[in-house]
Amino acid sequence: MSEKKLAIIATKGTLDWAYPPLILSSTAAALGYDVEIFFTFYGLQMLKKKLNLKVSPLGNPGMPMPMGMDKWFPVLGTAIPGMQSVMTMMMKQKMKSKGVASLEELRDLCIEAEVRMVACQMTVDLFDMNPSEFIDGIEFGGAATFFEFAGDADITLYI
Amino acid sequence: MANFDQELDATGLNCPLPILRAKKALNGMTAGQVLHIIATDPGSVKDFEAFAKQTGNDLVESNEEGGKFTFLIKKN
């Protein structure tokens, strides 16, 4: 049986949106898939040694807020300084209490399962990011590098 | 209750951790051995079925009792 392949393009750098690529990659690897994630634009935040991703209620009407805050809290209130930190802290606490893995844990599981991680070289240059801030073992490449793997992938996701 | 060779307590863990921990445990076992898993994530019922099917291992048993889900997976 030849290995199935999963290719993912990860473009988001918020706490909530970092979950789908890492959950799917670690699980696919456990199911025997050969997995590659191409991190581009804000998705590169997921490759930083020290993960510091946040979640924001601002401009996100779908985000459930604690204590019915979404019912009476004015939309502008979500822009109050400190709101992002508070919501991030609450989200992390909630995830912990529900037994949801931390991003660090999921990323470690991906690395352990030999998920290939490619950082978009163009975005690294664009944002003047320092490659030494990234975890070890990643590759740097461009669109052609992605297609080399994704070209014969069974599943390709853009997240 | 059937016999098993190794046990994995995945209670309190949410998707996809029970599956990932089970995979890790199975990696350290030999063919024919049976892994007993205890989980509280209701989603794990369907997930372990799908996991067994896709990894070629046998889901020998899947039970629920008092909010706990138990599984027996035989490594092939």
Superfamily name and number for A5-158: DsrEFH-like (3.40.1260.10)
- pTM equals 0.89
SS (H, E, C) chain B: CCCCCEEEEECCCCCCHHHHHHHHHHHCCCCCCEEEEEECCCCHHHHHHHHHHHHCCEEEEEEEECCEEEEEEECC
Return the higher-pLDDT residue of B10 and A75.
Answer: B10
Domains, in order of start, for chain B: 6-60 (3.30.110.40)
pLDDT per position as a tens digit, A13-56: 999 999 999 999 999 999 999 999 999 999 999 999 999 999 98
Domain locations in chain A?
A: 5-158
Per the CB < 8 A criterion, the answer to whether B73 and B22 are in contact is: yes
ipTM: 0.85
Given A32, A99, A101, which is nearest B55 (Cβ)? Answer: A32
How many percent of chain A have pLDDT more than 90?
79
pLDDT per position as a tens digit, A54-91: 998 888 878 887 777 767 777 777 788 888 898 899 99
Given A26, A31, A109, which is nearest B51 (Cβ)? Answer: A31
Judged by a CB distance cut-off of 8 A, whether residue A110 touches chain B is no
Catalytic residues of B, by residue number, are 15
pLDDT per position as a tens digit, B48-67: 999 999 999 999 999 999 99
pLDDT for the residue A54: 95
Over residues A131-154, mean pLDDT: 95
The H or E element spanning position A106 is helix A103-112
